[in-house]
Amino acid sequence: MTTAPPSPTPPRADIPPRKLYRSAEGRMLGGVARGLAGHLGAPVSWVRIVFLALLLAQGMGAVLYAVFWFVVPLGVGGVEAPRPAPAETLPDGRRRLFARKPDRGQVVALLALVIGAAIFVDNLHLGRANAYIWPLLLVGAGVALVWRQADNARRAHWMEVSRRKRVLPLARGAAGVALAGIGVTGIVVLQGSAEHLGTVLQASLAVLVGIALLAGPSLVRMTQDLSAERTMRIRAQERAEVAAHVHDSVLHTLTLIQRNAEDPREVARLARAQERELRAWLYRPEGRGKDEAEEPTTLAEAVKATAAEVEDHHGVPIEVVVVGDCPLDERLAAQMQAAREAMVNAAKYGGEGGAVQVYAEVEGRTVFLSVRDRGPGFDLDAVPDDRMGVRESIIGRMQRNGGTARLRSVPGGGTEVELEMERAAA
């Protein structure tokens, strides 16, 4: 039937084989009927009628329903075409109010159920046992309440909507227990052993305490073991992630270092790159993934990324300190390019004197950036005019974008480039 194109139910063609779930949506009791309806592709009302009819047949329906409820897990699926929200047909003012009330169908169904149950009870001719029906029903209602509670808990678990009041579930649980208790008491009273109630209660209490004493410790240990096991598993997972990372990059780098042992520059470069990467990975802010290919959007990120690039390319360590942060704009991007040029120069000509120091600070609207090396230094006036690096790429670029660049160079005492830029008006 899935292959026939003119079939009246074409949208179902590519639905994977359904698993039977109790429906969490629009259910009345346990969601069995709805789930079944969805599973069989039949209208819900039919399934419910069948259940009712079976109920009249010696209570088969109830037993069947209970078995389904017990065995079949709760799920979201199983509902064909969710019924239109009743509030939609109403004027806006009453929408919310109405949506929270049980809808009419549910009420009718519930009534039908009660009537059916009454007829069923009436039909029973159990003689003396007849008296036990009501207590049993009470117990059943209590059990049903508590069971639905469990359903709700599970639903909340996988839908993560459990932020509602905590009182309601508690009250429901208590009501369920009370109902069941009343039912059981009713049975005891009916049995005519009410006068032995005290002794019976004592005896049962003794049994309960005994069981608790016997099984309690192992139960506690079991839950403890379970939670311990869970934390262990989480840790193991974490460790596996770290191991994977370390294996991937650090071991790899160490191998490369062993191969390039004669080339100290290359070794230093590899070690620095690895150190930086591992640092970024270890101390990355939470919620940031590994995707480092993304374009930096803030000044701090941009400075770090630029420094890392230059460092990798020239094998000179660059130490970056950033104070404050702000989003990148066009002017700052120009400043970043000037800074890159300065870093490249520092790495090329001043790298022998140790690490290059990069400092960036955002203060109000001003962004200050300094690049400093401890190399031999140079005399700007002695640089021939055809060397465009400093004049054009740094000073010229900053001026064109409305900033200033200052070069300070002490022969033998290193070079410092200071770049200052006002942020573009927001």
Partner 1 sequence: MTTEETTERHVRVVLVDDHRMFRTGVQAEIGATDRTGVEVVGEAADVDQAVTVITATRPEVVLLDVHLPGGGGVEVLRRCAPLMADPEHPVRFLALSVSDAAEDVIGVIRGGARGYVTKTITGTDLVDAVFRVKDGDAVFSPRLAGFVLDAFASTDAPPVDEDLDRLTQREREVLRLIARGYAYKEIAKQLFISVKTVESHVSAVLRKLQLSNRHELTRWATARRLV
Residues that bind partner 1 (CB under 8 A): 279, 282-283, 285-286, 317, 319, 321-324, 354-355, 357, 359, 361, 363, 370, 372, 416
CA distances, 142 to each of 145, 174, 179, 302, 343 (Å): 5, 9, 5, 64, 75
Query: Least distance (Å) from partner 1 to the CB of residue 91?
Result: 47
DSSP labels, 17-45:
PPPP-EE-SS-SSSSHHHHHHHHHT--HH
Retrieve residue 286's tokens.
């939470």
Cβ closer to partner 1: 54 or 250?
A: 250
Cβ closer to partner 1: 175 or 250?
A: 250
What are φ and ψ of residue 175, in 5° steps? -60, -45
Query: Least distance (Å) from partner 1 to the CB of residue 393?
Result: 21
Cβ closer to partner 1: 310 or 322?
A: 322
Query: Least distance (Å) from partner 1 to the CB of residue 15?
Result: 44
373 in Cβ contact with 414 (< 8 Å):
yes
Query: Least distance (Å) from partner 1 to the CB of residue 287?
Result: 9
* Rg from Cα positions in the chain: 38
What are φ and ψ of residue 22, in 5° steps? -80, 145
Cβ closer to partner 1: 83 or 279?
A: 279
Rounded to whole angstroms, the Cα distance separating 14 from 1 reads: 12
Query: Least distance (Å) from partner 1 to the CB of residue 249?
Result: 17
Cβ closer to partner 1: 6 or 285?
A: 285
Find residue 405's DSSP bridge partners. Answer: 419
Cβ closer to partner 1: 102 or 324?
A: 324
Rounded to whole angstroms, the Cα distance separating 143 from 175 reads: 10
342 in Cβ contact with 334 (< 8 Å):
no
What is the residue type of 9?
T
Query: Least distance (Å) from partner 1 to the CB of residue 363?
Result: 8
321 in Cβ contact with 371 (< 8 Å):
no
